[in-house]
Amino acid sequence: MIFKDKAIIVTGSSRGIGKEIAIAYAKEGAMVTISSRNDESLKSVADEIKSIGGEVLSVAADVSKPEDSKTLIEQTIAKFGKVDILVNNAGITRDNLLLRLSEEDWDNVIDINLKGAFNCLKAVTKQMMKQRQGCIINMSSVVGVMGNAGQVNYAASKAGIIGITKSAAKELASRGIRVNAIAPGFIETDMTDNLPEKAKEELVSAIPLGKLGTVQDVADLVLFLTSEKAKYITGQVINVDGGMVI
Ligand code: NAP
């Protein structure tokens, strides 16, 4: 119960990595705000958290909209009285080769993955400064570190997340707020399910540990980085990728 009575927001927590993170916090005694664009898809996650005795708030919010991000933070404060941890996890892919990549797909990915993280970070900062403590995790990707053909928009958004993380860590450290980024490799979720079998096999052959990661692998790292055990770690990008980037 290492997060007992901590108030935590996880964006993009209706499925995949975000859902696992939200449930992992709830199992450790936290009060968790779950969020995604769609109210309906949050219901089953909320039920799962309640079934393990957790306290949960569901907020439908599109992180690309500043007013939604503000509401997400405000509703959490209204319900739990504070925000100890924000996990900026919401993200999408709209892959295409550069020459075929539409302006719309560029804008969508940047708006949700990069501006979305900025919107939530900005909205939570005042509260965390007032508290003189807080912890923020931004979800990057190995693709933001090493690039990937067909993912110019996604790579730009995830590299931008690293810039936000390092700058915010420097800006907020004196207020007791830590900011770190996580760069997962290929994790089994809906996002990677869409890949053709052959592409998956090729990917696995490029992973030294020889398999895709699980949502639990990512959640374990998020919980560690936001725990007291990581109290001297800020401004870092930690890979959880089976050795893809060495
Ligand atoms: P996923 O299964 O597709 O889930 C994405 C989540 O984000 C969903 O809950 C989705 O819910 C939400 N979301 C999408 N757009 C949103 C918006 N505008 N506002 C609020 N919520 C939004 O993806 P995942 O694989 O779990 O990935 C989670 C994060 O990890 C992403 O940032 C992704 O880039 C990163 N990541 C994933 C992998 C991987 O291999 N899976 C690797 C590296 C990094 P709604 O659609 O209902 O809004």
Asked whether 194 lines ligand 1 (CB < 6 A), one says: no
For residue 120, how far is its CA from the centre of ligand 1 (angstroms)?
15
Q: To test ligand 1's pocket by mutation, which of 21, 64, 89, 107 has the most ligand atoms within 8 angstroms of CB?
A: 89
3 state SS of 10: strand
Give ∠ CA 89-24-181 in degrees, rounded to 5. 35
The pLDDT of residue 193: 86
Ligand 1 atom nearest residue 42's Cα: 47
The DSSP call for residue 88 is E
Query: Nearest C-alpha to atom 31 of ligand 1 is from which residue?
Result: 91
pLDDT per residue rounded down to tens, the chain (246 residues): 999 999 999 999 999 999 999 999 999 999 999 999 999 999 999 999 999 999 999 999 999 999 999 999 999 999 999 999 999 999 999 999 999 999 999 999 999 999 999 999 999 999 999 999 999 999 999 999 999 999 999 999 999 999 999 999 999 999 999 999 999 999 999 888 888 888 889 889 999 999 999 999 999 999 999 999 999 999 999 999 999 999
Enumerate the active-site residues.
154
Asked whether 41 lines ligand 1 (CB < 6 A), one says: yes
- Pick the closest to residue 89 from 11, 15, 25 (CA basis): 11
The pLDDT of residue 196: 84
In Å, what is the CA distance from 150 to each residue of 52, 156, 158, 162? 41, 12, 14, 20
DSSP H or E segment with residue 79: helix 66-80
